Structure 1
C-alpha cells in the first residue's frame, strides 16, 4: 500500500514505525481524555495476525497513522491520529479511506470504530459513511481519573 493524495504520501507501516506512531499520539491525543495507547500496546497489537498500519507523511515528515485489524468479514479501526500542525489537510481522510480500501481487499464486509464522545473526528467518520450504532459509558479514563463516553460506529463495505 502506497500512494499520494494531495501531497500526502501513504505507505504500509511496521514495527520500525512505532517510535513515529508514539510521537504522533503524544501530540495528537490530549492526556486528559485517555485515548492514546502505550508503545507496548501498539507493539502487541501490531504483532497479531490481521493487523495493519498505514503511515501518512507530508513533506517527508510522518504526520499521521491509522491502525486497524480484520477478523474474517469484520474489521475495526483501532487508532487514527494526525499531528495537530498538519490537520485540515486531508490526512485523516486519506488514512481512513486507505484503511477502508485495505479492509475491502481483505474481504471485510463491515468496519467498526469507536471514538470519544465530543471528539471532532466524528464529523470525518460520518462524512465517510459511518453511522453511530452504540455508546460505551465511561469507557475512556483521562489522566485526572475523569471518565468519558465512547461512541461506536459502523459502516458496510459491500
Structure 2
C-alpha cells in the first residue's frame, strides 16, 4: 500500500493500533449482557459481554472479535470510551456514527476520536463493520430499557 493509495488513509496507524487491542479474546464471566452482531455484507462478527453496576453504568466489557481491522478498531474504541457511562448514553453513539459515516459532521458525545473513521466515509462497504460494536450498544439498551432510566 503506497501513501497515495486511498486504502492507506483508511487503515492508518491509529486504526491498526486500536484493532490490535482486541485481537485476543477476553470474555467476561458473569456479564449482564452478551450480544453479537454480524455484518451481512462482509461477515465481520463482534461479540461484547457487558457488565453493569448498580447504577446501570457500564463497568466492564469482554469481547470476541472476528472482524476486519475497522471492526476491531471500532470495538476497541467503544470498549475504551464507554467504561463508566450509562448504557443509554453510549447506545446513542450508533446513530451518530452512522450519520458521521454518511458524511455529516455529527458529534458523538463521549466517544474518543470518532474522526479516525472519517476516511471510511467513501468506503460504504466498510460501514457495517465499523458500526458493529455501536449496534451492540443500541441493542443492549433496547434489551435493558431500565439502563436508560
Is the shorter-chain TM-score for this pair beyond 0.5, marking a shared fold? Answer: no
Structure that is richer in helix per residue? 2
- TM-score, normalised to structure 2, is 0.30
- TM-score, normalised to structure 1, is 0.29
